[in-house]
Each structure stands twice: as structure tokens, then as C-alpha cells.
Chains A and B, each alone.
Chain A
Amino acid sequence: MISQPIVTAPEKTDLNEIAAEVVRRAMAGGATAAEAVVREGTEFGTVVRLGQVETLKESGSRALGVRVFFGQRAASTYSSDFSPQALDHMVKSALQLARVTSEDPYAGIPEPGQLGAISGDLDLYYDDVFSLPTEERIGYARRCEKAAMDVDARIRNSEGGSFDAATGRKVLANSHGFVGEYQRSYCSVAAVPIAQADDGGMQRDYWYSVARSLSRLESPEAVGRIAAERTLRRLGARKARTANVPVVLDPMVSRSILDHIFEGVNGDSVYRGASFLSGKLGQKVAGENVTIMDDGTMPGGFGTSPFDSEGVPTRRTVVIDRGTLNSYLLNTYTAKKLKLQTTGNASRGLASNPGIGPGNFFLQPGSRTPQQMLADIDEGLYVTEFLGFGVNMVTGDYSRGASGLWISKGEFAYPVEEITVAGNLKDVFFNISEIGNDLEFRGSVACPTIRIDGLTVAGQ
């Protein structure tokens, strides 16, 4: 296993020199402030379906963007062409474009004192994700699919097993002299089996493992078996009756509830009053059992980085503390708007004003296992999949398609589908009646199994 610490002190690599040069050109062209971002990435992906290689993809690409300020006016441009002429054109276009934007008293890059990067090895980059020869990478995908197909004769088809790997480098430079760079790696193995019942009805589900290092990836066989089990348990699903019953969310779907909280504390929707959590700082917004953290500093985390997209060090923020809204998540702009300090959550693409992104955003786990939680429930719904986007962040209205398992007398009774789960997010966070002990990070947002009361399940 090879680990390479991230570079937090400016080092003379080609890319950070390019970023710094773009900033210099913008300032020479008359900008009062400028910020450049460079991204470089390499990706590999293969899908094996029914034992045969279906796709094999391998490539690398890079692109850069610049944001310039003339006083309180800003504009940005990007390019995938790194030739001197293209960079020149990109900078000139940005300077030109800034003439049509408005004076915004809150616009600007962070103050020099706010810039920096957290130090130490954040455990984000392993070049072992590309260490395997192509045949073995295909082998990962093939083994994963085969393990799923071998579980049961009813697994009769497949959308394939897959193996993906990627590395990315990100550089940020600005006119206060900040230059920062970091590298991250990623690999994953997955299977999407299809089961068919004797009546012809088909069901599909999936499972995957994802890690920053190949050595931490779960075995393809284990992933394939879980994918098959998750698929098989959906066979023979029926509609449920319309009812108000306890709803338990599998960690694969409970994460989405945290996504809604993240959107709710996102400074961008908060300052414009577009969030159901606007104006609620210091107030109870959830039950006593709900504590939510955002931590951009966790070593190895999927949401970890040494600095955010504006060059502000990442940090750990208690967002909801035992039900009380303790902090919004902010970048420089939204912090100024709300007369608060940035939380180091700026996130941006190549050409745009920074938005807000999570670090590692998670709900503190409870003490009981999911099985113990289920045992309390006489009649209820266990949701394994949500379908659609029926969430209104302004009103908190929540109505989503769902499928899962019906709970009867504390146990799974039969699979259900073609139902909806509805309520209002303002109530949902007070009605999280229990939180499981099974917190696991499979991405930057993570949530244990949770039980929510008071939702309406609509079916027949």
C-alpha cells in the first residue's frame, strides 16, 4: 500500500504554476481580485455483464476556470484547452464579462487571514487504485457479478458487475497569494442483479463498496452476495394499504433525510428565506435525540479536504445539537449576507460563484441495533428505496415514491412497492423516534437506520 500525503504547502508543480499564472494575468488585466481553479482527473471503469466484458473505459482530462472581480463585480470563464492562447482568451473573456454584472456589496474572495489549509496526512490519496492490471480489474467486476448470480436460481439476469477507479487533483490559487493543492483517489466495486419470480415479475437492486484505497475495498464476492439478497427480498412485492404507520428507513435511504437537512442549513437558501430552517438558529428544530455534525477534517473521509473551494481551511461544525439548530453551513458570501463567519463549506465548479457543499455530514448514531428497533413495531413500513424528487424545501412538503418491506409483529412480512411516503420535513425531524447504532460512511453524507412516526403511507 502506498500512501502519499497531500500537499498543503505550495509546491512548484505544473498545475499550481498554471493556476498562479492565470491569477497574475487577471490582475495584470486590471482585476482587483482573482481566483483560479484547476482540475485534473484520471478515470477507469469496466462493466461485466453475464460474464462478458460489456464496457471498458479509460481516460484522463483536465480543465481550469477563473473568477475575476472588478471591485464588487464578478464574472467567470473556463477552458479545457491549456495552450497559452486559450488561457489568454479565457482571462480576457472573464475581464470583459465582468462589465455586465452588478455591483454586489457582499461579493469577494475571503480575507487573507481566513485562508489556509489543515495540516497533516488526511489519508485521501492511494495510487493503489490504479495498481491492478486491466485483467484483474475486469476480474473484480466479474467476480462481483458471479457471486450475485450464484446466490439463487431466481437471479436470472443482471445489469452487470462493475469496477471503477479514479484519481483527481485540485488546485486553487487566488490574488491574496494562496496556492493550495490536493489529490484524492477512489475505487468501487458493485453489482446490479435482476431476480425473476415464476410469475415473470422482475426486481432489481444493487450493492457496492467504495474506498479511497483498493486495500480497503470489501471483497467483490461479499458485495455480490449482499446485492443478490437485497434483490431477492423484493420479489413478489405488492401494494400496501393507505395508512399512518411507523416508517423505518434503511441507511441507504435515511441518508436522503440528511440531504434535506443539509439543504435546509445551506446558507444560500437560508439568507433568501427559501429554507424551512431560515431564521431558526438557536431554536429547537428536531427532537432531543438528534445531533448532526459536519466534519471536513475526518482522515480518509469521502467529504474531507484540507481547504474548501475558496481556500478556507475545513473544520468540524456541530449543525444540530440535541435538537437545537446550532449552525448553518456557509461560504464567504452567505456568511457576509447573514452577518456570520464562513464555516469552510464553499464548493464550486470551474466557472461559477461558489456554492455550499458538505464535508462529512452525519447523524450521531443511537445505541440499539436495527433488529431491536424493528422488534418494537407491530405494523409498519421498512423503506429500502425512494423514487423521485418530491421534496419542497421552501414549505417542507415531503412526498416520495417508495418500496421496501412490510413490518408485522416486529419482523419483515412481505415486500411492498408502488407506494408513497408523505409528511412535512418540519415535523419529520421531531418525529425521528429512534436512531440505530449502524452509522457507516459510504459517501460524504451518512445516516444510521432511523424510525420516523407520523408519516402517511399511500397505496391502495
Chain B
Amino acid sequence: MNVTLDQHKFFFERYGMTERDLERYLAAALSAGGEYADLYFEYLTSTSLMVDESMVKTASQGISAGCGVRVVAGERTGYAYTDDLAPDKILHAARTAALIASGPAKTPVVGEHRKPPRSLYPVALPTADSEITSKVDLVMRADRAARAYDPRIREVRAGYADEVRNILVVGSDGTLEEDSQPLARLNVSCIAKSDDNSARGTYGGGGRVTLDFFSGEKTPEFFASEAARQSIIQLDAREAPAGEMEVVLGPGWPGILLHEAIGHGLEADFNRKKTSAFAGLLGKRVASEKCTVVDNGTLPNRRGSINVDDEGAPTQNTVLIEKGVLKGYLSDKLSARLMGMADTGNGRRESYEHIPMPRMTNTYMLAGEEDPQDIIRSVKQGVYAANFGGGQVDITNGKFVFSASEAYLIEDGQITAPLRNTTLIGNGPDVLTRVSMVGNDLKLDEGVGTCGKDGQAVPVGVGIPTLKVDRITVGGTAKREPARDYMK
């Protein structure tokens, strides 16, 4: 099949590569045997801008390119990479990776070049010079909007970053996929000061989008006023309570709960090695029947979406938990083969310097039926968490945390005082069994998430509807009985 669009033959045209070259590299990779080998070519261009004290203090651009060669023999992986795409350098990397195997040479099958199976995001062209002024304009507008929100806003930093990642994945099983993946993000961070207090607020968003995204609904002013609002609210925050209690999570980014509590624990590598607290729980009840959770890499323009994963497999919508029952794991090629299951298209890597492994894309819970207001009204005394910072999990014992950056007390069914930053801690395999109400207001996050695993960072998305967890530990400092002196 002939492809005329040059974005679909990026490496072939830029580096004069041919299918014949690729075959030679793969043959070198399999020269000592092994079941499988692949080549991952990457060409990444990036731009970033930062406004600080109303000045554009930082502007940077860069290009990095390279090729990673992987050889798989049984459960063993050999890996080598080069940042020089000259044929002799790639061959050297292939021969280094080949050392993992010991057996007769294998002959690879090189696939046919074809158009990507689908298009979830625009094909971004290299940044034109005229665009840089539009990007500067975005961050300057964010700075002005945050300062205009309230005179107590003192420090504002607004950053814009984008990249276009061109990849070509060539596997010895005939895989040959090319993709061009744009990613953009606008971020605003403010500090508000009152006579006796300081507080911080951050907000941002983006996705696999081009510049025009920020002239739609999600303008710099939108992100800036949200960051400013959070910092102003936080000026009056009081001590959070300490101990187990009812917690209502707001829709959207608080979905980081799913990412930490169950997402990592369902990555196939941990289950293949039986190092996850979820190992052996397939088909078992791990959540209340109100919970259905998916990992979906096919949502258009979302930060966690990709047409094909970093092993060339198409991404998909994978059901992880259906009505409370554990249905599936997230796999890459290696785990799929060793576990005898289907590849879910979750093999991802940070760059050509890294070995791919099972990773999440966009992980979220489907909407339920409750009115979010009813959920809040049902709580006599507890916490409403609207926004979070980061989270972390120990996949072996299942314990996870996530830190609330905007939270309130709930008293007698009403949201009352804002709370100081607090960490929530729970146990992954049972926290979802305590979800007693699920709202009808599913929302995905704005597009800011970055997930780290084994030192590799990849962009991801999360989402939940409003939901109530009957019992989770809140890590505040206040005495058990929430004080009531501030009311009225």
C-alpha cells in the first residue's frame, strides 16, 4: 500500500531508511537467537515557555532522536540504544542487545509499511516561527488572568510545554507502525498572601492537541482563575481531621484514586511475577457492584491516548473491573505471551532509552446513577476532596496514598470549611469495596497527569464520577472530633 503523507513515512524520508535496512538491523538483533526483536525509532521535538513575575523568563526548544533495540528470549530482555541513527551505530546496538540470547540465529519478518489504523489526534507539523508568539501570548494571558482574579494573588508562574513525538516501531513478527503524537499542556501556579497566611494553587490542562485547543473552552483564563481560586480558598483552610471517616471524592482528577489503588496493581508484569496484591484475583469481587473501571487508550485527543502503543499494538478500551468483579489486566507483548493472554496495547516507554512495560493510558470509572448532591447530603461527618496533588502505591502490600490539595469538611450533609493539605491512605484491593455511592457525573481530568514507574515517566489520564468511600484514613492533625467553633 502506498502512503503519500510524509508524516507516515517520517523516518524513511528523513533518514533515507529502507525496509531492507530494517531487516538487516533485526537480523543482527536475532543473530544469537531469541523469540522476538524490535526497533523503536523516536524523533522528539519540544518547546517550553515560562512566565514568572510577568516576564517570559524561560524559552527553550530541543530535538532528541534515537533508536532502541530490544531482544526477547524467554523471560529475558536484552536492550541497547543509540542516539546516532547511522546504520553502523544501530547495528552495534542490535548486536549488543543480541547478547541476551544464546542460540541459532533467527530470520525476522519485516512488515509492510501502511497507514496507522486510526487517528485520535491531529498530525502536528513542526513548530512554525509564527506559532511561538501565539504560545507566548497564552502564558502572558494566564499570568494576567491570575493576577486579576484577586489582589491577594502575589506570585504567578504560567508555563506552556508541547512536543511532537514521531515513532516507528518495527518488530520481527511483522509489526511496522509509525505514529506522530502531539502533546501540549498549559499550567498555572499561584501564591496568595493574606496578612498572616500564604497558600498555593495550581491548575492546568491540555492533551494530544495543537495550539487551537487553548482558544476553545479551555482558555488560559480558565486555568488561571481556577489556580487563583484554589489558592484564595486555601488561605482560610483549617486543620484536617485525623483517622478513618467517610470521604466523598469530587469528579475528574480525584480519579487518581483508581490509578494508585487498582491501576498499577493490575499491570500484567506484576501479576505475571505474582508481586501484586491483585495476583490471582481475576474473576473475584474486588469492588462494590456499583464500580465499573476501564483503561481506554482510544479517546480522541486525551493525554493518555495513543493510536498505537510503543510496541506498535493498537490501544484499546479494556474493562478492568465490571460491576465489582476483576475482569482483566493491562498487558504488553512480553506479559501477554508469557501469560497466554491477549495484548491489550499497554506496552509503553518513556523514550528510546527505555524498555517498554505495561502502563496505563486513561483510567476511569463509568458513571453511576446518584445525584452528586445526594451523595454529599448522605454524609453526616466526613471530608469532601475536590482536587489532588500526586499519589503513590506499594503494589505488593496494596497500600496507596493520594494527597488532597483542595478539600472541605462535610457536616450534616453540607460542605463547610476548607481543609489544609492532607494525605488519604488506603488499601487497594479493598478500598473500592467500600464505595457505596457513584454519581452520574463522570468527568475526566484536564490533561496534566504523568505516571512514573521504574523511573520511566509517561503521560496518562484519569477520571471518576463523584463517589463516596465509606471508610478511608484521612491524615490530618486535628483531634478526632472536628471542631465546630468556626461555624456561623
Name A residues whose Cβ lies closer than 8 Å to a Cβ of B: 49, 52-59, 61-63, 65, 74-81, 86, 90, 93-94, 96-98, 100-104, 107, 134, 157, 159, 194, 201-204, 234, 237, 239, 242, 272-274, 350-353, 385, 387-390, 392, 394-395, 397, 399-401, 403, 417-424, 456, 458-460
B401–A401 CB distance below 8 A: yes
Closest 10 CB pairs of A and B: A420-B475, A401-B401, A388-B401, A390-B423, A102-B55, A78-B62, A458-B242, A204-B396, A390-B403, A351-B60
A420–B198 CB distance below 8 A: no
Q: How far is the CA of A54 from the CA of B70 in the complex (A)?
A: 13
Q: Pick the contact of B80: A58, A76, A456 (CB < 8 A).
A: A58
B200–A394 CB distance below 8 A: yes
Check B75 for interface membership: any CB of A closer than 8 A.
Answer: yes
Q: How far is the CA of A252 from the CA of B138 in the complex (A)?
A: 43
Interface residues in B21-65 by Cβ distance below 8 A to A read 49, 52-65
Q: How far is the CA of A54 from the CA of B426 in the complex (A)?
A: 32
The smallest beta-carbon distance between B234 and chain A, in angstroms, is 8
The smallest beta-carbon distance between A263 and chain B, in angstroms, is 13
- Chain B residues positioned under 8 Å from A201 (CB to CB): 397
Query: For A134, A272, A350, A420, which residue has the most chain B Cβ atoms within 10 angstroms?
Result: A420
Selected interface stretch from B247-255, B270-278, B283-291, B408-416? B270-278
B476–A399 CB distance below 8 A: yes
B78–A203 CB distance below 8 A: no
Given A76-B59, A387-B401, A460-B243, verify A61-B83 contact (CB < 8 Å): yes
Check B227 for interface membership: any CB of A closer than 8 A.
Answer: no
A100–B243 CB distance below 8 A: no
Check B399 for interface membership: any CB of A closer than 8 A.
Answer: yes
A61–B353 CB distance below 8 A: yes
Name B residues whose Cβ lies closer than 8 Å to a Cβ of A: 49, 52-66, 74-84, 93, 96, 99-100, 129, 132-133, 136, 154-155, 191, 193, 197-200, 234, 240, 242-244, 273-275, 277, 353, 355, 389-394, 396-397, 399-403, 405, 420-423, 425-427, 473-477, 480
- Chain B residues positioned under 8 Å from A52 (CB to CB): 74-76
Query: For B75, B200, B427, B473, which residue has the most chain A Cβ atoms within 10 angstroms?
Result: B473
Determine the residue in chain B with the shortest Cβ distance to A49: B273
Q: Pick the contact of A202: B129, B154, B277 (CB < 8 A).
A: B277
- Chain B residues positioned under 8 Å from A395 (CB to CB): 197-200, 234, 420-421
Q: How far is the CA of A392 from the CA of B189 in the complex (A)?
A: 13
B79–A55 CB distance below 8 A: yes
- Chain B residues positioned under 8 Å from A239 (CB to CB): 473
The smallest beta-carbon distance between B97 and chain A, in angstroms, is 8
The smallest beta-carbon distance between B314 and chain A, in angstroms, is 26
20 other A-B residue contacts (CB within 8 Å) besides A55-B355, A80-B66, A98-B59: A52-B76, A57-B355, A61-B83, A76-B59, A78-B64, A81-B65, A97-B61, A101-B59, A272-B53, A351-B61, A387-B425, A389-B392, A390-B401, A390-B422, A395-B200, A395-B421, A399-B423, A403-B397, A418-B427, A459-B244
Determine the residue in chain A with the shortest Cβ distance to B54: A102
B392–A273 CB distance below 8 A: no
- Chain B residues positioned under 8 Å from A242 (CB to CB): 242-243, 480
Q: How far is the CA of A90 from the CA of B55 in the complex (A)?
A: 24
A353–B76 CB distance below 8 A: no
- Chain B residues positioned under 8 Å from A420 (CB to CB): 242, 401, 422-423, 425, 473-475
- Chain B residues positioned under 8 Å from A49 (CB to CB): 75, 273
- Chain B residues positioned under 8 Å from A401 (CB to CB): 392, 399-401, 423, 425, 475
The smallest beta-carbon distance between B277 and chain A, in angstroms, is 7
- Chain B residues positioned under 8 Å from A86 (CB to CB): 63
B474–A458 CB distance below 8 A: yes
Q: How far is the CA of A94 from the CA of B62 in the complex (A)?
A: 9
- Chain A residues positioned under 8 Å from B155 (CB to CB): 272-274
